[in-house]
Structure formats: C-alpha cells, structure tokens
Amino acid sequence: MSSSLAEVLLRRRRMVDARITPPVRRSAWQWLKRPLTTQTGLNALQAELVQRGFLLSAPLYRYCAGLNPLALSGFGTGLLEMLDAESGYDAEYVPLFRGFPESVPGNTETFYVNRVFARLLQEPEQPCVLCGDAELVHAVSPCAHLVCRSCWDGSDFSACPLCLRHIDPDDPFLEPGFDEIPGKADADRLRLLALAPSDAERALADELLTRQTPLSVVDRTDLKVLLTEADSSWLPDVIPVRETRAYVIALLLAREPFLIDRLETATDVLRVLSVLMGGDPGLRTPPVRRRSLPRLTRRTLLARLDRMPLESLVDDVQRHPRAWKRMGENLHPFEYAREYPVAALAFAVVRRTKVDAETPAGRAVLGEAARQPMVRLEDGRLVVTTFASRVEGAFVDGRPGHALDLLRQRPGELLRRTVQLARALPAESHGLLVEAVGTALSDVSPAVLIAALGQVRTPPGDLRLFYPRGGTTRVWTSVDEREPLPAELATALAGVIVGEMLRRATSLPRFRRAFLDEELGRLAAPSSERGASSTLRRMTRGSAQPIPLDDELRLFLHWVEPAGQRVDLDLAVAVFDGEWGFVGLCDATRLRFDQDAMVHSGNLTSAPGSTGSTEFVDLDLRAVRRVGGRYVLPVVFGYNGVPFDRLERGFVGVMRKPTGLFDPAAVEERYDLAGPAKILLPFGVDLHTRELRWYDVNLGALGVGHSIVRHAARVALMAATLEEVHGAGDRVSLWELCCWHAAARTDEVVVRCADGSVVGYVRESGEELTSFARRLTARLEPDRVWDLDAANRADFVAVVSAADVDPKAGAQVFALHPRLLDPAAHEFVAAPHLLTTLVPDARARLATHTP
C-alpha cells in the first residue's frame, strides 16, 4: 500500500491500514543482537501515541501484538511519521527567543533601539556600543553582523539578534539551552485509531464522489490518490457535482475514453480540458500554461461537443468566452469542421470568426448554421440568441414574469434566481413564484436548496458578503441597499424548501431514536469549499466553537522558504472592542501586550533550509478582556510580498492549553498556507459570546511591508462582516440539517442542550411532520426530560464532542470531535454525507452507497 493512500485513510477516517507494515526478512530477525520483545515495542508505541493524543483500538492493538518486534518497529515508525506530518509535529519549532514566553523582552522599544544602535554604530575591533566590552564582540555567520556576547544571550536567541535572520547552527554565538521536555496529552483530548477494513479506500472514494458540494483542493488531491489504481467500476452511476465529475473523467479519460459520455454540457467539457492542462475544474483560474493534447483526446472532446444541442452548447460556451478562446487553440475545431460541424459552429460564434464560404471548413459551418433556426448571419459572422440572453433581456426590459416562464425550464437556475425574482415580480405574481419554486424543487440538488433557503431568510443588513471566483478565498463587502423581501413571501418560499427537504428525508431508512447536540447550531451546513485551506477539522467556513474565557491559546506559524528566495512572514494579533474600535496589537513591533495578555515569540525574517522558521503568540483571553477587548483577530502577513504558494511549506494553527512549546495533542486547528495570497485571516475569537469562529479568508495586497498597522481597518471590516453574516443565524446550520433527518426518520428525538440538560421530543399520532420539525428545530418546549444514556440507545447520533457518549455498535454517528469512539465499530458520517442522502432519488442513492 502506498504511503499516500495510508495518509489519506489516517487523516480522513482515523483508520490505519495494516499494509503499512514493512516486510521483514528472516535473516534480519535472526541476526538481531539486542533482545527486544513485541510487548516492549508496543508499550513504547502507545506512549508515543498518547503524547500525540491517540490510542489504539482493541482490534488494532491485537494486530500490533501479533507482529514481531522488527515489523512492529517499522509499523510504528510509519504511523508516527504520518501523524506528525498531519499535525505539524514533524517540523522543528525554534522561535527567536528560545525561552519563549518567559524570556521575551518586556520593553519592545528598548530591544529595537539596542538592535539599531548595534547594527549601525558597531565597528570591527571596537568596544560594544551598548556595554563597552571590547573582547566579546564577534561577527556571526553568514550575515557578518557584529554581536556582543554579553548584551545578547546566545542561549536564548535562535537567529542573529540584529537582522533577525537565521545563522549557521554551528556558529559559536548559539549556545545550548532551553531543552524542552515533551508533555503528555490530557485524557479528554485522546482519540481512537482503528484498524482499516479491506474496502476502506473504496468507501472513502465513494463518499467524495457522491458529495453534493464542490471539493476543495485537498479533497481532490485525496480523491486522485484513492483512484490511482481504480477503474470505472469504482464510479457510482451519478457523480452529482460537475466539478468532481470532470476531475475524475480527466484522470481516467486516457484509459477509459467512453467516460466522456458522462459530460452533459459544454462547461463540463471545459472543466475536463482545464484539468488535463493542469488547471482548476472550478474554472476559477486558468492553467499556468497550455499543454499539447493528443489527437485522440482532441477528437474525443470535439465529438462530445458536437453531439450537444446547439442552443445549449452556444449558451454554455458564451458563459466562459475567454477560456474557450484559449482552449480553441488546443482543440483546433476548424481542422475537424467537416466531422464535427456543430462544435465548429459554436467556436465560430464565441470567437466572432468571419466564416469564409470558399473553404471546406466554412462551407461545413454555414451548412450546419442553415439547419439551425436560432442562428443568423450578421456581417459574415454567426450570431445565436441564447437562453441566458433571453432571461437577462427579460429582467432588463422589466418583464420578470417572462423571465419566470423561461426559468421554469431550468429548475436549478430558477432556485438560484429566486430572490432576484421575488424582488422583481409584482405582489400579485408572488403566488406564481411560490408555485414555480414548489414544482422545480424535486429536480434540484440539496446544496442549491439550502443556499436558496439561506438567501430567502437573510434580511438586508448593513453589509453584504461576496466570495468572488479566484484562486484564493478573497472576501469582498459592500453596503446592502436592497429592498427586503415581503415577509409573507419569504415565509412561503422557506416553507416549501424545508418541506421538500423533509419529504426527501422520509424516503430514507427509519431510525428508532435520534440523539442531537444543540451545539450543532454553531456549525454551518456544508457548502462549497472550493477555496478552503487544508485543515484538520474540515469545518465549513463560518462555523464556531465555544471556548472558556480562562482558555490559554497558543498560535503558531511555521514556514520554509524556497532556495534562493528570502520569505519573511509575520504572525500578528489585533484586538478590537465591541464597536470594532482598535484596542491594541501584538506583533514584531510590540512583543508584549498588557504584560502577559499577549506575548509574541519574536520576529524572524528568513526561513532557510529544511528547518524553516517559527513564530508563536500566546493569548490569555481573560486578560485581553480585562483591557476592553472583545474581538481577537490573528493574521498572517507576507511582509516582503512573496505569495504563499511559493513556499516550500507553510502553515498556521492554534493550540489550546499546550503542554510544552508545541503539543500535537493540543492542536485545535491547522491551516496550510497556499495560493497566490499574501494575507490570511484564519479565525476570530469573540470574548463576549465565547466563540472561536473559522474565517479562512484572504485579503488582497499589493507591494511589500504588509503589517497589522497598515491593514487594521480592512481586517476589522472583513471580520465584522463575517461575524454579522454568520452570527445572525439566518444561514442553514448543521443543527437544522440534522433536525430534518431526525424529524423525518424517527418519532423520538433526544436533545442535549447547551446547559448540559437532556430533553426529548416525541411526535404524537396525527402530528404533521412540518409541525414536529418546527418544534424540534426551534427548540420549543420539550415533551419530557431525558438522561444522557439515551445517546447509548440511539441509531443516529450527531454531536460536536463525543467525550461523554457511547453509541451502540453500528449506530450512524456525526462527531466533530469523536474522541474515543471506534471508527470501525460505528458508521461515521461526514457533514457533507447528510446532504448527499437528500438528493432527489435518495432511496436509489442509498442502495449503491456505503458511507
């Protein structure tokens, strides 16, 4: 088994595949001189795993106990390496002040002034300008700055104290000191590792292939690893997301060209072309450079375009005109015009080509145009009136009723434009809109439905939030000047959408009892994560987690620069009050804020070699609140303007109450630094609501010298908008999604409330499903008081943390923090799976799906 496949199973399912055990020759076992036993090795492995926050499940323990000592050593080494790479524990964490946080200077200004004086005024063979000692000033390598050994503590610094760049590890200035003793994970942080079944990779591939939301870059990379040795037999009958479908077909097209028939639109073909050329199936960014395609591949793609209806083909091609013009240079459609005249005609329209009737290709194109009633010739160029232009024309001409009639033909587009139609239609036509939406619902994916529901329920506010298409998740805001939807219309539209979701859920297998956690209301329902960073928890952007105010957080930033290019990243924290007024900061210019409320480990200005550089910031949330802070916003800056995607490696994360400098068991979340961005806002902490909300957004930046002082206003605006949008409760939450499943699939639902109490909701005989779902979702007066043991008897369990629940074997479980639940003993489901099962043909979908 490849290590990449083992890493995917471990990271996504917490399952360990036995095939990572290396083969051991009998001769190696016979010549082993040091007496080792399997039990000794197993005890050592368990101690290492506990330090990282993991335990072996009983089946995995028995498997390890059956290995000989050499095989166990290889197995354990491989397992620990994969876990360390995932959490970042494999990196070397050496901050500027090795005694961080105790040895960080209390006065940043004095520290800065001393650095400037020593750098500008110190001369060779002259006394130290700070202390006057003439014998302890020596140059450090390779920067050659003159450093006084008396003024600058070589046992504390890890870099040149004057320029803050790394120096040679063997330089005499660097003295041993501050050896760290690894800590031990708390019991409530431990998580179970299970032995992977033989079909684990296929089940995981099926989960990704059937997901109802677009995959992130990391998801696509994992899917490629899972499908490395696969063929079309692994593919389900329907891959619902077009981007995923195109990505998979591009991977398998050379081996199985018949898969091209699964592409339904010209944009699907464009997605495949983009992947074949090393680009993005979401078409957010063009390929870095064009690649030559084999002739057979070009003919296969053109043949598929030629079999499409001309109107929909041209309509689709004109959605991405620039991309198609670039791709036309690779496909050479006019070279095959006589074989594929429809495809050539579409390219002639999008490229505004003057068709020459004297050439064979021109005659073929004009002959096809004559057979198409929607095509006309203007000044030697072909023009087609498309569906999209007719819809837009209807809105521009003030005929929303006509636009509604057109959109009835395309249910998905109708749902995406529901809010636009609701504002444009007169009051007497609102009933027609509700009726049209109700008719279209049965053919629309659940991801589109929950997006439409969130838009319908969201009233106009002070700011609007936009996620433009692009290589990174850049967020834009604007003032919301729209008119509010009529309350009665918004209620009616929301009612038909929720009713459709409940109807679909009723077709799924029944549960005897469901157990839900009220804290799921803090988590956002699955949505498009195209631009999401690679993370540990894979939470949807906008989700929040409760944190106690006495929590101590440690932020960490680690990066390795490419050879020949210096990269200076900075980790900074800005604090704002309840009105988003600036309170203070902690960064390289202010290493301590309010003594120990925030402590920075020191600025490093380069990250050479394999070790790289690390910066930390310690946060005492209670102390920050005492000085009037409410919002705490960590930010990563590319100070010298180098984009993140040029790094050899880079990531930022947060630990809660770490033991030691870096505690892998305490890592709450970790983001990879990727894409052409230079500023990342990973999350924000609200000290009043006691929530940590995941943002994972980038800010655009030009030039160099980026810092929190320079971008404080923009950071505050972005965070304020994100808090307003995601904190309002109008967007669909994971709580609602789980409630729809529970209400439709069982008559007995147990809820663990935020205060720790446990209550029950029972659907009475004759009670309508929508009424029962409304009582449950809104957490109205419960029917009875229950006990926590109800979770142990439930068939469906959805919780944030499974620390105090023990579901029965075989139960379907969603848990953001599974803790000690055995992945092999329960049917773990990811949040996107809860949407996947609500596709229109859910019963047929379940018949072929093993989550």
Q: What does the pLDDT look like over 667-714, one tens digit per residue?
A: 888 888 888 888 999 899 999 998 889 888 888 777 888 888 888 998
Residue 185 is predicted with a pLDDT of 59
3-state secondary structure (DSSP) of residue 18: helix
Residue 597 is predicted with a pLDDT of 94
| Separation of CA 685 from chain center | 19
pLDDT of residue 734 exceeding 60: yes
Hey, what are 414's tokens? 């109708």
Q: φ and ψ at 175, to 5 degrees?
A: -110, 150
Residue 147 is predicted with a pLDDT of 94
Helices 360-370 & 341-350 angle (0-180, nearest 10): 90
Least confident range from 166-180, 398-412, 588-602, 753-767: namely 166-180
Q: Using CA atoms, how far apart are residues 54 and 89, in angstroms rounded to an integer? A: 14
**Residue 563 CB coordination number (10 Å):** 7
Residue 35 is predicted with a pLDDT of 52
Average pLDDT over residues 245-273: 92
Where is mean pLDDT largest: 469-483, 594-608, 653-667, 725-739? 594-608
| Separation of CA 420 from chain center | 29
Residue 123 buriedness (CB in 10 A; 0-12 / 13-18 / 19+):
exposed
Residue 848 is predicted with a pLDDT of 36
- Contacts within 8 Å (CB) and 24+ apart, 765-772: 769/502, 769/506, 769/743, 769/744, 770/495, 770/498, 770/499, 770/502, 772/743
Residue 183 is predicted with a pLDDT of 58
* 721 neighbors 467 (Cβ within 8 angstroms): no
Hey, what are 359's tokens? 């050439």
The full set of domain ranges for the chain reads 3-93+184-195, 200-385, 389-505, 507-523+732-847, 544-727
pLDDT of residue 846 exceeding 50: no
Q: φ and ψ at 762, to 5 degrees?
A: -125, 130
3-state secondary structure (DSSP) of residue 79: helix
Give the confidence band of 483 by pLDDT, cuts at 50, 70, 90: confident
Hey, what are 42's tokens? 């197993």
Give the confidence band of 36 by pLDDT, cuts at 50, 70, 90: low
3-state secondary structure (DSSP) of residue 530: coil
Q: Nearest to residue 191, comparing CAs of 831, 829, 816, 832?
A: 816
More confident call, 752 vs 23: 752
Q: Tokens 């809820």 sit at which residue?
A: 751
How much of the chain exceeds pLDDT 90, in percent?
A: 48
Residue 419 is predicted with a pLDDT of 92
Q: Using CA atoms, how far apart are residues 8 and 209, in angstroms rounded to an integer? A: 15
Beta bridge pairs of residue 691: 546, 686
- Contacts within 8 Å (CB) and 24+ apart, 841-848: 842/504, 842/505, 842/507, 842/508, 843/507, 843/508, 845/210, 845/238, 846/508, 846/509, 848/236, 848/237
Q: Nearest to residue 506, comparing CAs of 745, 707, 301, 732?
A: 745
3-state secondary structure (DSSP) of residue 436: helix
Residue 180 is predicted with a pLDDT of 59
Q: Using CA atoms, how far apart are residues 601 and 584, in angstroms rounded to an integer? A: 17
* 711 neighbors 572 (Cβ within 8 angstroms): no
Residue 851 is predicted with a pLDDT of 30
Where is mean pLDDT largest: 292-296, 316-320, 624-628? 624-628
516 membership: H or E segment, kind and range: strand 514-517
Q: Using CA atoms, how far apart are residues 671 and 199, in angstroms rounded to an integer? A: 30
Hey, what are 548's tokens? 């106690």
Residue 282 is predicted with a pLDDT of 86
pLDDT of residue 849 exceeding 50: no
Domain range 544-727, CATH architecture: Sandwich (2.60)
681 membership: H or E segment, kind and range: strand 679-686
Q: Using CA atoms, how far apart are residues 359 and 348, in angstroms rounded to an integer? A: 14
Q: Which residues contact 21 (CB under 8 A, 6 or more apart)?
A: 67, 71, 74, 75
How much of the chain exceeds pLDDT 70, in percent?
A: 92
Q: φ and ψ at 466, to 5 degrees?
A: -125, 140
Q: What does the pLDDT look like over 322-381, one tens digit per residue?
A: 889 888 888 989 888 889 999 998 888 888 888 888 888 888 888 888 888 778 887 778
Least confident range from 54-58, 122-126, 248-252, 572-576: namely 122-126
pLDDT of residue 136 exceeding 60: yes
pLDDT of residue 76 exceeding 80: yes
Residue 825 is predicted with a pLDDT of 87
Q: How far apart are the first and last CA of the chain?
A: 22
Give the confidence band of 467 by pLDDT, cuts at 50, 70, 90: low
Q: What is the mean pLDDT of the chain?
A: 87
Give the angle 674-676-677 at the CA atoms, nearest 5°. Answer: 80
pLDDT of residue 847 exceeding 60: no
Q: What is the DSSP letter of 562?
A: P
**Alpha helix stretches (DSSP H) within 746-829:** 769-777
Residue 493 is predicted with a pLDDT of 95
Instruction: Please say whether the dihedral angle defined by the alpha carbons of residues 715, 719, 720 and 725, taken in this order, is positive or negative.
Output: positive
Average pLDDT over residues 601-616: 93
pLDDT of residue 80 exceeding 80: yes
Residue 304 is predicted with a pLDDT of 94
Beta bridge pairs of residue 139: 146
Give the confidence band of 30 by pLDDT, cuts at 50, 70, 90: very low
Residue 182 is predicted with a pLDDT of 60
| Separation of CA 596 from chain center | 32
pLDDT of residue 2 exceeding 80: no
Give the confidence band of 731 by pLDDT, cuts at 50, 70, 90: confident
Average pLDDT over residues 447-453: 92
Q: φ and ψ at 560, to 5 degrees?
A: -130, 125
3-state secondary structure (DSSP) of residue 435: helix
Q: What does the pLDDT look like over 154-187, one tens digit per residue?
A: 999 999 999 999 999 889 898 886 555 565 656 6
Beta strands in 321-453 (DSSP E): 375-378, 381-384
Give the confidence band of 31 by pLDDT, cuts at 50, 70, 90: very low
Q: What does the pLDDT look like over 389-430, one tens digit per residue?
A: 889 899 999 999 999 999 999 999 999 999 999 999 999 999
Residue 626 is predicted with a pLDDT of 92
Q: Which residues contact 358 (CB under 8 A, 6 or more apart)?
A: none
Residue 32 is predicted with a pLDDT of 45
